[in-house]
Amino acid sequence: MIENPNLESGRIVVVAGVPGVGKTTVLNETLKLCQQRGVNCIVVNYGTVMLEEAMSKKLVSHRDEMRKLPLDIQLNLQKLAAERIRAMAKSGNIIVDTHVLIKTPHGYLPGLPSWVVEALRPNVIALIEANVEEVLKRRLKDSEVRVREVDATEALREHQELNRSAALSTATLVGATVAIIENREGKVSEAAEQLFKLIVEE
Per DSSP, what are the bridge partners of residue 93?
A: 41
Looking from the CA of 96 toward its CB, the CA atoms found within 13 Å total 32
Q: What is the mean pLDDT of residues 96-106?
A: 89
Which pLDDT belongs to residue 126? 98
Confidence of residue 64 (pLDDT cuts 50, 70, 90): confident
Which pLDDT belongs to residue 148? 52
Which pLDDT belongs to residue 147? 46
Q: What is the mean pLDDT of residues 119-145?
A: 83
CA proximity to 12, closest of 111, 115, 117: 117
Of 42 and 152, the one with more pLDDT: 42
Which pLDDT belongs to residue 26? 97
Which pLDDT belongs to residue 3? 37
Q: 87-113 in b/e burial notation, b at 16+ Cβ within 10 A?
A: ebbeebbbbbbbbbbebeeeebeebbe
Which pLDDT belongs to residue 116? 94
Looking from the CA of 114 toward its CB, the CA atoms found within 13 Å total 2
Confidence of residue 68 (pLDDT cuts 50, 70, 90): confident
Among the ranges given (31-35, 67-71, 137-141, 156-160), the one the predictor scored with the smallest mean pLDDT: 137-141
Q: Where are the chain's structural domains?
A: 12-200
CA proximity to 78, closest of 104, 93, 98: 98
pTM of the model: 0.86
54 pLDDT higher than 60: yes
4 pLDDT higher than 50: no
Q: Is 169 exposed, middle or buried (0-12, 13-18, 19+ CB in 10 A)?
A: middle
Which pLDDT belongs to residue 151? 52
Confidence of residue 107 (pLDDT cuts 50, 70, 90): confident
8 pLDDT higher than 90: no
Which pLDDT belongs to residue 41? 95
Overall fold of domain 12-200:
Rossmann fold (3.40.50)
